[in-house]
Chains A and B, each alone.
Chain A
């Protein structure tokens, strides 16, 4: 078969045009934007004027205590440092089993053996240099403390129950024996009595040592809580392993609060934190809230290129006061309708979202700088019209480290007050030849 001459030409023409079109697309679309060899001779010079200003922007600065709120800690600080630091966690086992499963049927628990409480430890973040003695106390306020039983959310009473007649567990471990999981034996008579009488068990922990002790116990909120373990039997033989999860059932009218109080920490001693200064860190955790008034010409009509919060640090003489403490600047996400500083300090963005962390040693002094440019840029966005212009400083993590840093507040002498140093470029026209 032969094609007509006209058909051949059409085919050739189409092939030619298709080739040209493909070449054209490749040529036009394969662009290269990188370079700059002809700059600055040929590059347009942009008139970017940058102003630097330092001013006192603070309309409110205060310290709020209690972060995280009691019972919501992800780690429980068990610490003992002589007459300086003493913190003692409490774990509630308000629901003890009265049966164990022996195969096909549930069997009533009448005998116990090998009772211990297992604690998961954040070993790398814990500190101890000498053998540590762990003591466990029965801190249930119902037993012999009828006055406290009526109001058992008032945990203050419990701090008086860490006494010898209530001690139900004791073990001393060498430093090498303290791994990421601790087992502390518990008195079996106490536990079996609670099981048989269907009453609750609340355990308080105390650590002592010849050296400093700071042990971070993984809490219920982090998913690997302290556990009560034992072997159960109806007789003197045929024991079965039973594990009891911690649980709090009081206050009964507040489910969330009762769940939070599954485990928590009592602070018996902590280095004093003066109220007249801004402070960050410590146990219970403290945050500093600073609200700003920033001129509209900077936030709304300019590109903010740098914003540095300058604080004057005052030295704190305390434990480990030369070790640097990490602080996170957070932007307040609460609206202007929320006036309570405590709530404002709670409603923030996440750490490291837009800001670098900073590190300060508690013993240091002088002016420190915290970069918050992304806060000012966020406040200039239309969506931020009703947002508080506030910054929160928090330690990371909170409530598991007794150290804290302190700064002079806006009520201090003028040269010691918080300042804001801003570099900004007013919006102007550009690019007109």
Chain B
């Protein structure tokens, strides 16, 4: 099955996503959130507790043993402006993680998650004065790539009810930009072609803790302190800023048999990215609120499946026409044990709505598939 999932990834990998002037991919890109499929299915509320999400470095103790996690997440987006609409599809691989057991009370992880996905394409028609003539053209601007967070983490169980973890983060990635302005008569007018690769390199440190206060109540919290983030063109550092710091906390209640309820909150200081901006881009600090329910579902073999529902609300980091873009998620999903608890396929379906801002509204169906293997 792992081979099948990897094949699926390879088939789709060359086909990068496209977007036509969207609300979600403004500025440095769309924050995918670092949530695993099961955490996203439950509105992100379990993100601080979830061992395969990239938020809380103390959570990987939930792996129990070493393993691998891989996630594939296509998004079907619809943008509406008045009577006009665009429909696009974006394929993402937002999280992968590998965990290694380090003794009976510690777990080491290496994880990569997409912080800001800047993959889009716009195609517009326009006109330009060249010499004495006004000439029509079609302009295609394309961006592919993302800023990714590669985290090296370790989690330790100090007591049966308390675990802590730390993480060292490296932020890498690039935006491969291309601009093509093709005039209507290619013999008379030359095509404007430009290509540019914007590189990013930064670092940060994170820490987190998970405390089971009572049998039915647990609290988790984590924070990431952003270090320097450089924006580069080839070997030249064009701008330096700070990677956004974040803080998140969540409460989990397990008092209902067969069900768990969680509420989470997260604050990300996206405004520090404003130091990198070369335009009048406005980056805003943003809150995220998540509520989710996790329930025991029908058994598959000897292992019960899991069912998830949730709601999540947040603001996107980059303003459009001076307005902050709100985003809402309604989500549901299931965790299917394919081979007992050791091989689990998580499925999630999220309905996202963004805006309306500046007369533009956006909605999306996000399909998420997460695959966990614990040999």
B1-35 CB mask vs A (1 if < 8 Å, else 0) is 10011001001100101101111001110000000
Binds A, one of B57-65, B97-105, B153-161, B273-281: B273-281
Give the Cβ gap from A207 to chain B, nearest Cβ, in Å.
Answer: 39
A-facing mask of B172-194, CB < 8 A → 1, else 0?
00010101010100011111111
Q: Is there contact, CB below 8 Å, between B21 and A43?
A: yes
Q: Which residues of B contact A30 (CB under 8 A)?
A: 89
Tell me the bound Cα distance from A23 to B338 in angstroms. Answer: 19
| B141 contacts A by Cβ under 8 Å | yes
A167 within 8 A of partner (CB): no
| A233 CB, nearest partner CB in chain B, Å | 61
Chain A residues with CB below 8 A from B89, complex form: 27-28, 30-32
Interface residues of A in 359-403 (CB under 8 A from B): 371, 373-374, 376-377
Number of interface residues, chain B, beta carbon within 8 A: 78
B218 close to A (CB within 8 Å): no
B86 with A35: CB separation less than 8 A: yes
- Segment of B39-47, B121-129, B202-210 in the binding face: B121-129
Give chain A residues whose Cβ lies under 8 Å from the Cβ of B347: 20
The chain A residue sitting closest to B321, CB to CB, is A41
Which of A29, A44, A303, A355 has its CB near the most chain B CB atoms (within 10 A)?
A44
* A432:B181 contact, CB within 8 angstroms: no
B171 within 8 A of A: no
Q: A17-B1, A46-B139, A373-B190 are in contact. Are A308 and B301 (CB under 8 A)?
A: no
- B contact face: mostly helix, strand, loop, or mixed: strand
Please name all residues of chain A whose beta carbon is closer than 8 Å to the beta carbon of B139 when the two chains form the complex: 46
Contact call A28/B15, Cβ cutoff below 8 A: yes
User: In the complex, which residues of chain A have a beta carbon less than 8 angstroms from the beta carbon of B238?
Assistant: 429, 432
Smallest beta-carbon distance B311→chain A, Å: 23
Q: Judge whether B201 is part of the interface by a CB distance below 8 angstroms.
A: no
In the complex, A433 has a CB within 8 A of chain B: yes
**A35 to B196 Cα, complex, angstroms:** 23
Q: How far is it, in angstroms, between the C-alpha of A425 and the C-alpha of B320 when the chains are bound?
A: 29
Using CB atoms, name the residue of chain A closest to B83.
A37
- Candidate in A20, A35, A39, A50 with the most chain B CB atoms within 10 angstroms: A35
Contacts of B336 in A (CB 8 A): 13, 16
The reply on A40 being an interface residue by CB < 8 A is yes
A residues within 8 A CB of B301? 6, 9
- What is the distance, in angstroms, from A41's C-beta to the closest C-beta of chain B? 5
Determine the residue in chain A with the shortest Cβ distance to B187.
A356
A-chain residues with CB within 8 Å of residue B251 when the two chains form the complex: none
- The answer to whether A17 touches B4 (Cβ under 8 A) is yes
Asked if A323 lies at the interface with its beta carbon under 8 angstroms from chain B, I say: no
Interface string of A302-330 (1 = CB under 8 A from B): 01111110000000000000000000000
> Among residues 259 to 292 in chain B, which have CB atoms less than 8 Å away from a CB atom of chain A?
276-279, 281
Which B residues are within 8 Å of any A CB, using their own CB? 1, 4-5, 8, 11-12, 15, 17-18, 20-23, 26-28, 72, 74, 76, 79-81, 84-89, 91, 121-125, 128-131, 139, 141, 143, 175, 177, 179, 181, 183, 187-194, 196, 198, 231, 233, 238, 276-279, 281, 300-301, 318, 320-321, 336, 338, 345, 347, 358-360, 367, 369
30 contacts between A and B (CB under 8 A): A9-B301, A24-B369, A28-B74, A28-B91, A29-B11, A29-B12, A31-B18, A31-B88, A31-B91, A32-B87, A33-B20, A34-B123, A36-B20, A36-B124, A36-B125, A41-B358, A42-B360, A43-B141, A44-B21, A48-B179, A50-B128, A50-B129, A52-B131, A306-B130, A423-B130, A423-B131, A431-B196, A432-B277, A432-B278, A433-B279
Q: Beyond the given A17-B345, A36-B123, please list 12 additional residue pairs across the A-B interface where CB-CB is below 8 A.
A: A13-B300, A24-B12, A28-B74, A31-B15, A31-B17, A33-B18, A36-B124, A37-B86, A40-B124, A371-B187, A432-B238, A433-B318
